[in-house]
Amino acid sequence: MVKVVSFDVWNTLLRLEVVYERLAETLAPILKMEKDKVLEKILEAYNEAKRARRLGKLKASEILKSSREIMASKLGIDLKLLPNIIAKAMASIKSEEIVIDEVPKVLEDIKNLGLKIVTLGNVLFWPSTLTRKLLDSAGISRFFDAQFYSDELGVHKPDGKDFLMICKVLNVEPEEVLHVGDGIAEDLGGALTVGFKAVLISGHDSEPISIGDNIHIIPHIRHLTHVIKNLRR
């Protein structure tokens, strides 16, 4: 029986592209560069940093510094300036821009089923404190019983220690947790490795697919409540 639903944050609950677009807008006049060109360099840094993290080249304890070094190098900007610029850009984002459609309703529906809800997120260029602020200002942090992030835990997904911290804190067994995310390796793979049930949000225009009780693939988060109800029958 599922007792806890854990969520990846970026591109599961919040739109990551909104942050990078706002960051590009903030950086463009500083760098005296077109916004689209800045955004291109930001995305290059993101892809490089994410790949390095996946290959184990970026330690969780050093992830912020290492990933910012990659971004600073791509942009040709002083590394020391990046934290404040990123914080300024994120502070200007409005909830209606950042929250993925139907997320508040889905979270409320899950709460009404009597389940606990947590986040389990990786970090790259900014600390989890800024992610927490965004979730709070967006009005959805009230749904969470706990929030877990790699810069606080010292490990990042898909490391099993990340996922099992949920079990330790909430006193549940792995098979009682359903993890939801958009990453095949970080979310689906990591969750299944430790015995969680998993939902992958594919983003593709397709019908929901379930493989037994443990693997579920849905095109949009709006389908999640139906999956959970079926698991609780």
The per-residue pLDDT of the chain, averaged, comes to 96
pLDDT of residue 233: 76
Other CB atoms within 10 Å distance of the CB of residue 190: 24
Can you tell me the mean pLDDT for 115-133? 97
Residue 152 three-state SS: helix
pLDDT of residue 65: 94
Contact 91, 48 (CB under 8 A): no
pLDDT of residue 206: 81
Other CB atoms within 10 Å distance of the CB of residue 100: 17
Which of 56-60, 83-87, 171-175 has the lowest average pLDDT? 56-60
Q: State in words which class domain 16-91 has.
A: mainly alpha
Contact 22, 45 (CB under 8 A): no
pLDDT of residue 114: 97
Q: Taking the model in full, what pTM does it have?
A: 0.95
Q: Could you give the CA distance from residue 17 to residue 21 in angstroms, rounded to a whole number?
A: 6
CATH number of the 4-14+95-231 domain: 3.40.50.1000
pLDDT of residue 171: 98
Can you tell me the mean pLDDT for 141-155? 96
Domain ranges of the chain: 4-14+95-231, 16-91
Provide the 8-state DSSP code for 220: S
10: pLDDT strictly greater than 80: yes
